[in-house]
Each structure stands twice: as structure tokens, then as C-alpha cells.
Copies of this chain bind each other. A is one copy, B any other.
Amino acid sequence: MRNMLTAAMLCAVFTSLSEAQVQSLNLMPIPAKVQLGNGWLLINPSFSVAITGHHEARLDRAVEIFLSQLGEQTGMLPIDMKVTNSPSAVLLIQGAGGSKPVQELGEDESYRLDISDSGARLSAPATLGVMRGLETFLQLVETTNEGFAVPVVSIGDSPRFPWRGLLIDVGRHFVPLEVLKRNLGGMAAMKLNVLHLHLSDNQGFRVESKTFPKLHEMGSDGLYYTQDEVRDLIAYARERGIRVVPEFDMPGHSTSWFIGYPELASGPGPYEIERKWGVFDPAMDPTREETYKFLDKFVGEMAKLFPDQFFHVGGDEVNGKQWDSNPKIQDFMHAHGMKNNSDLQAYFNKRVQQIVSQHGKTMLGWDEILRPDRTNSIVIQSWRGPDSLAQAAKQGYRGLLSSGYYLDLMWSAERHYEADPMSGAAAQLNPEEQKRVLGGEACMWGEYVSPENIDSRIWPRTAAIAERLWSPQDVRDVNSMYQRLEKMSQRLEWLGLTHDSSYLPMLRRIAGTNDISALQVLADVLEPVKDYTREETAPAADTSATPLNRVVDAVRPESATARQFADLVNKLAAGGSQPGVEEQIRGWLSRWRDNQVELQSLFEKSFLLKEIAPISQNLSALGAAGLAALHYLDHSEKAPVAWVTEQLAFVEQAKKPQAQLLILVAPSIQKLIEASSGRTASPSLPTK
């Protein structure tokens, strides 16, 4: 009764939500509906939770995890926090239903969270919704003048897409179990619901197979998950409302299978674990029945180990060379009227699909598996883009977007945030076709990640993708996203992720000293090169044994300093009186100009710093050029044409990658120089 009254009172005081209010709430992804009230509900050490609706062990565990996180987040020891049956508990949880035995695609994740200044109520049709609502509650907790508190608010929420995933490639570099677990914690906080494990590739086979033990014994360098560990991981994910989808890439990307079982391959062995990156020739032999017998047993074993409904078979990037050079395979193709390797791969996929289907699973694969003769049950994961997705949807196939969400390409959060599964041709789909667009997956391909830096490649950018996939389509304010992302980043560190805290220790190792302030000034404005430039510009071909301890491995994918500096320069260019803006710009430029002197002594001491010495010189020169430009602007003098030309030429050179790094403040300094020439004073200079 108390709670019904509270809800009625809330409705009276609620006002519609302004953008500023959303930002003040620190929520990510932004819920579908938020109404902010007045006042706060205090969270003190005697905080209590009552489960008043449907009861099940998974819900108890979710509440246990919640209380433990609330304890860590507030520094309160959960010793006095209680789960009670009392209706006077601070947080009442009313779940109408429980959980499916295996979490299903599309299982109801909606919830409603009503907080008054005397109590909170979380209601949901199913346990999954309760889990999502508890994460929202945790995000609302703030340090206030009176104590830890959550604001009076009323939230109705449900996801835009039912499939919101993160792919982690454990094939190229092995990712230890505890690293996966901490990332599951981050995923749950951001309401992602699928961990897609890319479990095998040319460089490694990462799961114990009891049926074919030579797969992991000979194909992994000893770096694989035991079946017990896989079960443990799946249970850990389930406690957080996350499905685990396995991927075994075939018929290509499969050299690691062939070390122990060369008879599966289309060319003569023996094979070795591949150390280099790229697309390689070895591929399974689609023409031998033994291949399918092997796969039938293998898929049968893995289908039991991984309870999820979906089974990913990869299917991408077969270069066909082994097929071309194998006369028996050529004979087979001829005999079956296959015109090309694409036909042969289609035949293989069809056979694999039958196997996957016989073991009760739904097949999932990359764009390449899409052929007109496929049954509609398969799901396409698109690395090609929304248009490819739309084409599949029109043909009746369900699909996931991953194009635009490749974390290894080192794009900005903004650029990922802009990628939308319903954009391009997908925007033109009819409602029935639209339903076939299930969502998307961020992809953490593993060429350049280690346990030390993988978190910094996944987070916080993946939180922006999580918002794109959960929140209403019209949630698109990039500034708001960045403001909340900064707060989320800290929150994710609380959960045990190391994307932020790994940065300085890596720089200290690189410098060989603890005194790295000057190195940090430089590293803060650097980003790794984008797209596939790192592979393309490597002085020597990188391998899976190449140490990942260079500056390019330590610096963040996106420089916050560069973004803030670009904002300042844009403000200056926009004109008007903005006290402090020019001082801040001058402060940064001076620091950069003078930094080279401070850093000089370090270059001689560390082999890992040598390669960035020219970058440091360039930053110093960029700082000087920016200061000179500022001087012209200050004195309303037009900079001499010769000087401008010379400086712009230098900036062009400084923008080029060196040591596989980019100086991200160069474009902003270019704007200052251009402005000093009188060329531009546009108030709408883009930041990108």
C-alpha cells in the first residue's frame, strides 16, 4: 500500500526529462523512459532488499551480486545489508516470472524502477528484467551531501534490440578466464547480453575436446579452456544475464585443427600453429565424407558443452588456394557441377548446417554463409554493413550488425556510436523485415591484445555501442554520450576492469622509471593508427609472439585530451567572449612545446622510447606553431602567407603515422594556423 501511494505521488511531481537531467543521472545505456522527481532515497549500511514476487535461485544470486557491488561501490560492508521478506525493505523486487532453463534470444528484459524518497520498487516480467533494473539502480547511486543516495525517479525500460553482444577473439591471442570474467562484469553493467567467443583460428584452438583431444593438445600451445572452465564461465555469464555463443571458424581460419588432424585439410600436411596474421591457404576438405563425420561428432560434443541455442560456424575468408591445387577436389566440383569455390563453400555450409541442426542448434555465420538456397533459420553476422543486413532481411534471414563495431580498428566512440543496424538500406525495411535485424556485436579481434591491454581496447568504447543497441534510436547526443562515458569508465574500473589503470604502469615500464609525467603528456595526445594500418606498416611482420609492450600498445584508442583540445579550438574559432578558453589553449600548447626538453633524457635510457623521439619533436614543433598562430590571432594580425604555407606543410607531415601512432592534436593546431591566416573563422568547424 505504501508503494502504491508512493507511485501515485511520484506521478504528481514528475516532470518530463530534459537532456541536462539525463546527463545528471549518469545512466548508460539511457533507459527508454525516465521521469525525474525531487529528492533522494538514502542508501545506508542497513539497506535491505525484499523479494516479494516470483522466487528462484538465479534471482537470489542476482541480488547477492547486486548487494556485493553496492557494497564495493559505496565502501560499505554488506555485512548488515539484508535480503528479507519484509515489505518494509528499502528495495522491493517484484518479478512476475522466472528464467528459461537456458537463456533465450528475445527473453523479456524489460523492467520498471520506481524510486521515492522512502523506498524503491523494481518490477519485471522475468528475472532477466530484474537483473537489468538492478544495474540501473547501481548506476543511480551517488555521493551526496547527506550520504550515498539514489534520486527520486521513475524508469520504464526495455531494449531496442534483443541481441547485444561482444565478440572476443581468444584464438589469435589466448585470453585468460579471469579476463573474460571481468569483461562479463562490464557487459552486465552495460546491459549487453551475448558473449560471442571466437574459439578457434589459425593461431589457436582454445577449448578442450574430449572427443578429439589433439585439437587442444596440439593446436593451442597449452593455452585453452578446460571443459570445466567453460562450464564455470557459462554459469558466471548466466548469473549476469548473458548468453555465451561459441564460434568455431570453418572451413577456413582452421590451421590449428590440422596440427593434430591433418586429414581434415585440403592440402598435404604437416601443419604448424600459425604465428603470423592474415588469411592463410589451409581449409577443410569439403569433398570427403570423413570431414562431416568428424564435424558431426565435434559439433555434437560442443553443442552439449555450450547450451546456447546458437552455434557459430564462422565461414569467412576462404582464399580457396588449397581447393584449387587439389585435383580430387577439382574432380569433385566438376562432378557436382560446381562452378567455383563459392559453390563449393556453399555445399560445405549446407552440410554443416544440417549437422548443426541435427544437434538441435541454430547456425550463425559471417556474411559469406548467405546463399539463396539456405533455410531461413540461419542467422547472418555482417562484417559488410547494414546494406548487407538489409539484403539478408529481405530474403527472410535474421542478422546482426558487426560492421562499424570492430574495436580493433581503433575508431572513436563517436564513430561506433553513429553505426546503427537500422541505417542505410535497413532503414527502408518493412516492419516484418525490421524484426529480422536482431541487433549487433562489438568485435574484439585479437591480433594486438594481451591480458594487459585488452580491457583498454574494449572499454569504455563498447559502452557507447551498448547504448546504441539498447536505447531508443533517437538517443544520439554525442556530447552527452561522452560525458556519461567518462563516468561509466570509472564505474567499469570499480567492477575490476583495468582499461584505465593499466595505462600508467605500461608507460612506466616503457620508460624504465616511475617518473613519467613528460611521457604521459605526449602519450595522452597519441592514438594507435586506424583500420588495418598497423599490420600494413609493421617494419617486420608481427606474429603472435611479438611483445605487445610498445607505446602503440599502451596509448588509448581515443585521446580524451585531443577531443577536449578540439572542443576548445572550436570554441575559439566560433568567436564570442569565452573567458579562459584561450588561456587553456595556450597552456596546452606551451606544455607540448616544452615537453620535448623534459622527455629528452628518457629517450636515451629506453629502447621502447626510441621510436617515438621524432613524434615528440613533432609535438613540440606543433605546440610552437600553435602558439605563434595564437599570437597572430591575439594581435589581430594576419599571419604571413609564407609562414602559413610552411607551417601547414609541416602539420601535414606531422599528421602522418610514425611508430604506428598518430598525433591527434595536429588537426586542431592546423585550424589555429588556418585561422591565423584569416582563412577561416567558421563557427561550425567539425571536431572530426
Contacts and interface: CB of A to CB of B under 8 A. Distances in A.
Interface of A: 45, 72-77, 79-80, 142-147, 173, 221, 223, 450, 452, 486-487, 490, 493-494, 501, 505-506, 508-512, 514, 544-549, 553, 604-608
11 contacts: A75-B452, A75-B506, A75-B547, A76-B547, A76-B549, A77-B547, A79-B221, A142-B512, A143-B605, A143-B606, A494-B505
Contact of A145 (B75, B80, B606): B606
A553 B74 CA distance: 13
B143 A77 contact: no
Contact of A75 (B73, B501, B549): B549
B607 A143 contact: yes
Q: Is the interface of A mostly helix, strand, loop or mixed?
A: loop
B607 A145 contact: yes
A545 B82 CA distance: 12
Contacts of A506: 75
A505 B512 CA distance: 25
Contacts of A511: 143
A545 B144 contact: no
A547 B148 CA distance: 12
Contacts of A74: 509, 547, 549
Contacts of A147: 607
Nearest to A42: B607
A687 to B, nearest CB: 22
A144 B607 contact: yes
Contact of A146 (B545, B549, B607): B607
A546 to B, nearest CB: 8
A510 B77 contact: no
Contact of A548 (B77, B494, B505, B607): B77
A598 to B, nearest CB: 15
Contacts of A547: 45, 74-77
B607 A512 contact: no
A404 B544 CA distance: 50
A77 B505 contact: no
A77 B509 contact: no
Contact of A505 (B493, B509, B510): B493
Given A79-B223, A487-B514, 5 more contacts: A45-B545, A75-B549, A77-B546, A79-B221, A143-B510
A58 to B, nearest CB: 19
Nearest to A273: B79
Nearest to A486: B514
Given A487-B514, A514-B490, A72 B452 contact: yes
Contacts of A607: 143-147
B73 A509 contact: yes
A487 B509 CA distance: 11
A237 to B, nearest CB: 19
Nearest to A73: B509
B45 A509 contact: no
Given A490-B514, A505-B490, A514-B490, A605 B145 contact: yes
A503 to B, nearest CB: 11
A69 to B, nearest CB: 13
Contacts of A45: 545-547
B509 A606 contact: no
Given A490-B505, A607-B143, A75 B450 contact: yes
A144 B607 CA distance: 6
A45, A509, A546, A605 interface centre (most CB from chain B within 10 Å): A509
A77, A512, A553 interface centre (most CB from chain B within 10 Å): A77
A94 to B, nearest CB: 26
A80 B450 CA distance: 15
Contacts of A501: 501
Contacts of A510: 143
Nearest to A609: B143
A289 B33 CA distance: 69
Contacts of A549: 74-76
B604 A145 contact: yes
A74 B506 CA distance: 9
Contact of A508 (B173, B490, B505): B490
Nearest to A498: B501
A146, A221, A452, A608 interface centre (most CB from chain B within 10 Å): A608
A606 B146 CA distance: 7
A398 to B, nearest CB: 38
A348 B25 CA distance: 61
Contacts of A79: 221, 223, 544-545
